[in-house]
Amino acid sequence: DAKTTQPTSMDCAEGRAANLPCNHSTISGNEYVYWYRQIHSQGPQYIIHGLKNNETNEMASLIITEDRKSSTLILPHATLRDTAVYYCIGALYGYKLVFGAGTILRVKS
Amino acid sequence: EAGVAQSPRYKIIEKRQSVAFWCNPISGHATLYWYQQILGQGPKLLIQFQNNGVVDDSQLPKDRFSAERLKGVDSTLKIQPAKLEDSAVYLCASSLAVLFRGGGNEQYFGPGTRLTVT
């Protein structure tokens, strides 16, 4: 599985877009980029995944660079409830996830 | 749709005692996972079941940990005897998981069981 690198923590103002970066320079051509988040005292929650194209769902948007070496998860209008640890994972299969330490996102009012 | 259920939510035991955790996955999900999450770290996969068969248990400390998934639905994870370093949150997850299909297969996690070994 691809090794990913994420900032340890980030702050974001409530109502603004939160842009969470992830580097995955060793990702192979058929490995997907998955994003999960974990709110305090809860289990992780799936957000979105993508291979090459940008993806959007009701929770977030995923922008993957053309060379696939990095990606950005975008929460368009962050709320206090989005405060969580965000995990970026490179994996061939969604049932083979290796979680790193993730990025702590703090949304502040 | 009911989510993944786990019990108990909290457990405190002394070292060398035994403990068991229970998980009920989302109805229809063939794949069930047990993860261990130590404070400040991401979850680490312990074991993965496909129906009632083990797909991956490479990171399960088999000298003290065991897990079963009878009838391909509920699952139990047992630790015997417990050590101080087993203090962690134990997470259960499930997914539809079509094996060897790339993409998708998102996992749904339960709330976890927080184990403290004293």
Q: Count CB-CB contacts under 10 A for residue B78.
A: 14
- Which residue in the block uniquely carries the two structure tokens 């993944």? B4
Write down the mean pLDDT value for chain B: 93
Q: Is B78 helix (H, G, I), strand (E, B) or coil?
A: strand
For testing contact with chain B, the best of A95, A96, A99, A103 (most B CBs within 10 A):
A95
pLDDT score at B78: 98
pLDDT tens readout for residues B8-51: 999 999 999 999 999 999 999 999 999 999 999 999 999 999 98
Is the CB of B108 less than 8 angstroms away from the CB of A101? no
Is the CB of B107 less than 8 angstroms away from the CB of A94? yes
Q: How far is A56 from chain B (nearest CA, A)?
A: 14
The mean per-residue pLDDT over the stretch B58-69 comes to 96
* Residues on A contacting B at a C-beta cutoff of 8 Å: 30, 32, 34, 36, 41-46, 49, 51, 85, 87, 92-102
Tell me which residues of chain A have a pLDDT lower than 50: none
pLDDT score at B110: 98
At A78, list the tokens: 């962050």
Q: Which residue of A has its CA nearest to B38?
A: A101
pLDDT score at B102: 67
Is the CB of A49 less than 8 angstroms away from the CB of B44? no
pLDDT score at B27: 93
Confidence of residue B72 (pLDDT cuts 50, 70, 90): confident
Q: Is the pLDDT of residue B104 over 80?
A: no
Q: What is the DSSP string of A69-91?
A: SEEEEEETT--GGG-EEEEEEEE
CA distance B62 to B41: 22
List the 7-36 stretch of B: residues with Cβ below 8 A of A.
31, 33
Is the CB of A30 less than 8 angstroms away from the CB of B43? no
pLDDT score at B1: 66
Is the CB of B111 less than 8 angstroms away from the CB of A92? no
Q: Which residue of A has its CA nearest to B114?
A: A41
- Which residue in the block uniquely carries the two structure tokens 């991956």? B56
Percentage of chain B beyond pLDDT 90 is 83
pLDDT score at B71: 86
